[in-house]
Structure 1
């Protein structure tokens, strides 16, 4: 049983690496679930669609509105998917979790961390990821990757100005360096990934960390 989260800014390569790891674990016969946030359940995916595809030319949601939407999605996800699957002793691989909320709604959106923690504690209680990978890539490299992804449909987050992507990158670094606590006061086990490297090199970083921190060999 393990709850593993992949975090990072747009274009850092976390989703690609998450899929690589999922395939590698399944090839070894390990029972694992690939999921994401916002989303992860049918209803939570509807919230994701609303959250991601807002037309800013009409009206952009306030940071507090974003927080309430993503928290509603996460509450559904935790209760319907994460907790039950962990109870079945499965490995859960999740694309984003609470650290993204700290970055996007607190550091970027200026909502106090205490506000996020008060709301999140209601449905998270003592849930903390067993391992969180934070992908950090130079901004120019990340933007180039986004431009090259032919299948990628740009959403509201992707189309933000370059300066905002820099704030997001620095936000993840801040969370890692300052050892941000979860609502229950615990510090998640976070591993910083150098995402400037090749896909193969990044995958090797992940393999090493899994063996070191969770005893999972792939």
Structure 2
């Protein structure tokens, strides 16, 4: 079993790489699950919809409200999907996890990391990703990708000011460089991915990391 997380800002290509990896693992006949946050269960997906489709012209949630919504979704996701599937020896591929909360609600939203850790420790306990890939891309590249993704349902995160996207990128770099600890005091194994590279090269790097760190050969 393995719990593998893909992290990064908008337009960095992490979801595409998740789908590539999921298909490769399924082709090998491996027992794996592709999931996401916020979301991952029917109820958690309802929270995601509430969280993502807010009309900022009417009212936007304050960072603390965002934190509580994301935490509620994550608690449901862990209890109903992640822990049970890990017990079934599955490989779980998750689009976003706690590092996103550190970036969006702490670094961007100015909520102290300690507050996030206190809330998160209740439902995380000793849960820690086995491997976390952090994708970062040049800002112009990421914004161009967002604009080109015609199938992508635009949400309030996509339409944030350019400066906000820069803070998000710097936030993920900060988490990686400063080795942010999870609430249990442990540091997850994080790998920084240069998302400016070709899809094929990134996929090769991911496959190499899986074999090196988890013994999963693709």
Any residues of structure 2 matched to 1:163-174 within 5 Å, and which?
A: 163-174=163-174
| Structure-1 residue corresponding to 2:198 | 198
**Correspondence for 1:178:** 178
CA distance in 1, matches of 2:114, 2:18: 30
**Aligned residue number for residue 24 of structure 1:** 24
TM-score (norm 2): 1.00
- Tell me, which stretches of 5 or more residues in structure 2 are unaligned? none
Which aligned pairs between 1:45-64 and structure 2 lie closer than 5 A?
A: 45-64=45-64
Deviation (angstroms), 1:153: 1.3
- Counterpart in the other structure of 1:114: 114
Partner of 2:96: 96
- In structure 2, the partner of 1:132 is 132
Q: 5+ unaligned residues in a row in structure 1: which ranges?
A: none
SS for the counterpart of 2:12 is coil
Q: Distance in 2 between matches of 1:192 and 1:213?
A: 14
The alignment partner of 1:89 has SS state of: coil
Compute the TM-score of the two structures, normalised by the length of structure 1.
1.00
Query: Could you report, residue by residue, the CA deviation over 1:102-158 in whole angstroms, capped at 9, with x for unpaired residues?
Result: 000000000000000000000000000000000011000001111111101110101
- Distance in 1 (CA, whole Å) between partners of 2:195 and 2:203 is 10
Q: Indicate the SS of the match to 1:111.
A: coil
- Runs of 4+ deviating beyond 2 Å: none
Q: How many residues align?
A: 218
The CA deviation at 1:53 is 0.3
